[in-house]
Structure 1
Amino acid sequence: MEESRIATPIGTTLDRFIKNKQENFKYATGELSQLLRDIALASKVVNREVSKAGLVDIIGTLEAQNSGGEQQKKLDVLANIRFSRALKKGGEACALVSEENDSYEELNRDGKYIIAIDPLDGSSNIDVNVSVGTIFSIYRRKTEVGSAVQEIDVLQKGTEQVAAGYVLYGASTMLVYTTGHGVNGFTYEQSLGEYFLSNPDIRIPEDGTIYSINEGLSKEFFPPVTAYVDWCKEQSFNARYVGSLVADFHRNLLKGGIYIYPATTKKADGKLRLVYECNPLAFITEQAGGKATDGNKRIMEIEPVALHQRSPLFVGSLNLVEKAMDERLAQKAK
Structure 2
Amino acid sequence: MSDADTVAAVRDAIAAATPDIRAGLPGRREQAGSENPSGERRLAADEYADELLEERLGAIDGVGAYASEEREGVVDVGSGYSVAVDPLDGSSNLKPNNVMGTIVGVYDATLPASGRDLVAAGYVLYGPITTMAFAHEGSVTEYLVEDGEATPLREDVTLPDDPTVYGFGGRVPDWPDDVAAYVDEVESELKLRYGGAMIGDVNQVLTYGGVFAYPKLESAPEGKLRLQFECNPVGYVIECAGGRSSDGTGSVLDVDPTDLHQRTPVYLGTPSLIDRLEATLD
If the TM-score is normalised by the length of the shorter chain, which range does it land in? over 0.9
Q: Which of the residues 104, 122, 139 maps onto 2:107?
A: 139
Query: In 2, distance between residues paired with 1:97 and 1:220?
Result: 31
What root-mean-square deviation, in Å, do the aligned CA atoms of Structure 1 and Structure 2 show?
Answer: 1.7
The AA in structure 2 aligned to 1:213 is F
Query: What is the aligned partner in structure 2 of residue 195 from structure 1?
Result: 150
Q: Report how far residue 127 of structure 1 moved.
A: 1.4
Deviations 1:12-46 (A, max 9, x none): xxxxxxxxxx9xxxx64633322222222223321
Bigger helix fraction: 1
Please say if 1:63 is aligned against 2:33: yes
Query: In 2, distance between residues paired with 1:196 and 1:30?
Result: 17
Query: What is the aligned partner in structure 1 of residue 50 from structure 2?
Result: 80
> What is the number of residues matched between the two proteins?
282
Q: Following superposition of structure 1 onto structure 2, how do residues 111-150 of structure 1 map, counting pairs within 5 Å?
A: 111-141=79-109
Q: Report how far residue 308 of structure 1 moved.
A: 0.4
The answer on whether the counterparts of 2:235 and 2:245 sit within 8 Å (CA) in structure 1 is: yes
Query: What is the aligned partner in structure 1 of residue 197 from structure 2?
Result: 244
Deviations 1:149-194 (A, max 9, x none): xxxx11221011000000001100011101123100111223xx42
The AA in structure 2 aligned to 1:97 is A
Please say if 1:90 is aligned against 2:60: yes
Bigger strand fraction: 2
The AA in structure 1 aligned to 2:93 is N
The answer on whether the counterparts of 1:206 and 1:318 sit within 8 Å (CA) in structure 2 is: no
Percent identical residues: 30
The answer on whether the counterparts of 2:65 and 2:77 sit within 8 Å (CA) in structure 1 is: yes
Query: In 2, distance between residues paired with 1:37 and 1:285?
Result: 21
Query: What is the aligned partner in structure 2 of residue 222 from structure 1?
Result: 176
The answer on whether the counterparts of 1:206 and 1:290 sit within 8 Å (CA) in structure 2 is: no
| Structure 1: gaps of 5 or more residues | 1-21, 142-152
TM-score, normalisation: structure 2: 0.95
Q: Report how far residue 59 of structure 1 moved.
A: 1.0
TM-score, normalisation: structure 1: 0.80
Query: What is the aligned partner in structure 2 of residue 40 from structure 1?
Result: 15
Query: In 1, distance between residues paired with 2:281 and 2:65?
Result: 42
Deviations 1:267-302 (A, max 9, x none): 010000001100011111111000000111210011
DSSP-derived class of the 2:95 partner: helix
Query: In 2, distance between residues paired with 1:314 and 1:219?
Result: 19
The answer on whether the counterparts of 2:12 and 2:149 sit within 8 Å (CA) in structure 1 is: no
